[in-house]
Amino acid sequence: MITLKGAEVSAKMKDQVLEMVASLGGYIPTAAIVRVGERPDDMSYEKGVMKKIAAFGMEAKSFAFPEDISEEDFKAEFQKINEDENIDGILMFMPLPKHMNGKVFESLIDPKKDLDGISPVNRAKVFAGEADGFAPCTAEAVIETLKAFEIPMTGKRAVVVGRSMVVGRPLSMLFLKENATVTVCHTKTKDLKAVCNEGEILVAAAGKAGMLDQDYVAEGAVVLDVGINVDENGKLCGDVKWEGLETKASAATPVPGGIGAVTTAVLCKHLAQAATRKKQK
């Protein structure tokens, strides 16, 4: 079984992004990282994203607001960021605090700057198969991983376990764009194991630690584990149990070190694309 390491995919994408940045004639794309509150996971991810953006030859600015900021005040501050011509892309951490309506800000974000595909405009473009829409980074990271390792998707049966708007649903559209035949599964799917065994490509994106084991994997299938969970021992793990996988799968992504590493590289690619499109206009 081949281990599909995210670092290898990220390295290939870095070369592509550096070429895009070099073609901008000295212009350095800049991202705004918008965070409300101080959730440890958000702060950790922010640190990683800013480091990755810098490594890809671009810049990132952090805009952090107190958790108790009013929705009205945050909206005014967010609009300043949204309208700032020096900001090419925006990553806003979701969910927002409970006293705010996240849908309002999803609709507010400039689709051309929406790096993680949360705008209704970008969602519509992804579902319509249009090339200029930004898909959610995690969903696109799955496709980028398969392409980087030259794993064909055309004509393949792809099974996606999970139907969120962050991964499952947009990923199914991205698979269709690559001419795969897609089945989307969820907690109400009858005989989930049998359906998963039909997949030549199996994506686990349910967000439940160790939900799938080797019995869910078809002989020779490619397994992409999107889940990031913490097990009973406090260790990071995916939605797929790694033990025994090598006897069934032809290739699989590890957790950690798999899709997560590619997700931030996709974010960098989106930032470079946003800056390129702005410059072209």
Tell me which architecture the domain covering 137-260 has in CATH. Answer: 3-Layer(aba) Sandwich (3.40)
3-state SS of the chain is CEECCHHHHHHHHHHHHHHHHHCCCCCCCEEEEEEECCCHHHHHHHHHHHHHHHHCCCEEEEEEECCCCCHHHHHHHHHHHHHCCCCCEEEECCCCCCCCCHHHHHHHCCCCCECCCCCHHHHHHHHHCCCCCCCCHHHHHHHHHHHHCCCCCCCCEEEEECCCCCCHHHHHHHHHHCCCEEEEECCCCCCHHHHHCCCCEEEECCCCCCCECHHHCCCCCEEEECCCEECCCCCEECCECCCCHHHCCCEECCCCCCHHHHHHHHHHHHHHHHHHHHHHC
The pLDDT assigned to 224 comes to 98
Q: In b/e form, how buried is each residue of 167-193, taking b as 16+ CB within 10 angstroms?
A: bbbbbbbbbeebebbbbbbeeebeebe
Map out the domains of the chain as residue ranges.
25-110, 137-260
pLDDT at 280: 86
**Residues in Cβ contact with 49 at an 8 Å cutoff, skipping those fewer than 6 apart:** 33, 60, 91, 264, 267
pLDDT in tens, the chain (281 residues): 999 999 999 999 999 999 999 999 999 999 999 999 999 889 999 999 999 999 999 999 999 999 999 999 999 999 999 999 999 999 999 999 999 999 999 999 999 999 999 999 999 999 999 989 999 999 999 999 999 999 999 999 999 999 999 999 999 999 999 999 999 998 899 999 999 999 999 999 999 999 999 999 999 999 999 998 888 788 889 999 999 999 999 999 999 999 999 999 999 999 999 999 998 87
Give 25-110's CATH code, choosing from 3.40.50.720, 3.40.50.10860, 3.90.1150.10, 3.40.120.10: 3.40.50.10860
Q: What is the pLDDT of residue 108?
A: 97
Report yes or no: 29 and 56 within 8 Å, Cβ to Cβ: no
pLDDT at 234: 81
The structure's pTM equals 0.95
Assess whether the region 25-110 and the region 137-260 belong to the same CATH fold.
yes
